[in-house]
Amino acid sequence: MVKNAAVPASSSNEKKLKRQSKAYRLLGQSIIWIVLIVMYIPILVLIAFSFSKNDNISLEGDFHFTFELYRDLFLDEEIMVALGNTLILAIASAVIATILGTVGAIGAYYSKKRTRNIIEHVTQIPVVNAEIVMALSLTVMFVFIGTYIFGGAQIFSFWTLLAGHVVLGLPFVYLNVKPKLQQMDPALYEAALDLGCNQTQALFKTTIPEIMPGILSGFLLSITLSLDDFIVTAFTRGFGLLSGEKTIETLSTLVQAKIKKGPIPKEIRALTTIIFLVVLGIVIGTTIYRNVTANKHKVRKGRGA
């Protein structure tokens, strides 16, 4: 009789656990959807009003569908100059930060434990530090260099701005590459050396392909940080790039300047939509690339087995 009574009790507990599991799953999914809706509704509204010439984003008044904002966007010289400056700066700083961050991560990985720990702690400081501290530090350094090394010359230009953005993105490249190095099989590099490769050949044939997803992620993150940065840009910019003898304007500084004078230009809505769609395409492409690469690795491992 005791055994028979235990069976319904066990079954009841299992049903209770299943109900609790479903409730927790439903709660978790609901929270995720709420967060996604809160995040993306403003973007979707902005995209919708990029096809309207209404001065304000408002449901009041008529909504006339038109592509005129996109046409006006490419005819606005001021916005195009700021966009060109932003893209050149983002790509150049991301390339330099990716190279330095990757080399630094590889060097730290093959260094002694004490040296590696010091490098990792120093690299994490800019990530957790306030951006205003970084901007002020760079400004003080550039003023010092211009005053005491170049005899009081004004050195703020594209190069100081580029240096600031490289410093901004470099730690994030390092933090993206480091886990891939830790996941890599160290025997691959040693095997390449045993098979006749020199150190450089072994690096580019074994290590770099293995950590390429981390390098790509760091590169894209550096571009993103550079595109929307305002504080470092405002403190370190000077003349140069497409602005010529004028102070360099990027999209962030241009929007800030427009806000001070009045409403944001309507063409910015079209530009924001284009940037969002381009970033969405890059994210989808990167995800597909990672999935294809992971499947290839699985196939290779299966054949090796």
What is residue 302's predicted lDDT score, i.e. its pLDDT?
Answer: 66
Who wins on pLDDT, 92 or 113? Answer: 92
What is residue 161's predicted lDDT score, i.e. its pLDDT?
Answer: 93
What is the rounded average pLDDT of the residues 165-192? 88
What's this model's pTM, rounded to 2 decimal places? 0.80
- CB-based contact 181:105 (threshold 8 Å): yes
Fold for domain 82-290?
MetI-like fold (1.10.3720)
Burial class of 1 by CB neighbour count within 10 A (0 to 12, 13 to 18, 19+) = exposed
Residues above pLDDT 90, as percent of the chain = 25
* Domain range annotation of the chain: 82-290
| Rounded Cα gap, residues 152 and 17, in angstroms | 73
154: left (phi over 0), alpha (psi -120 to 50) or beta: beta
| Rounded Cα gap, residues 265 and 194, in angstroms | 62
**For residue range 196-226, what is the model confidence (pLDDT) as tens digits?**
888 888 888 888 888 888 898 899 899 989 9
What is residue 304's predicted lDDT score, i.e. its pLDDT?
Answer: 57
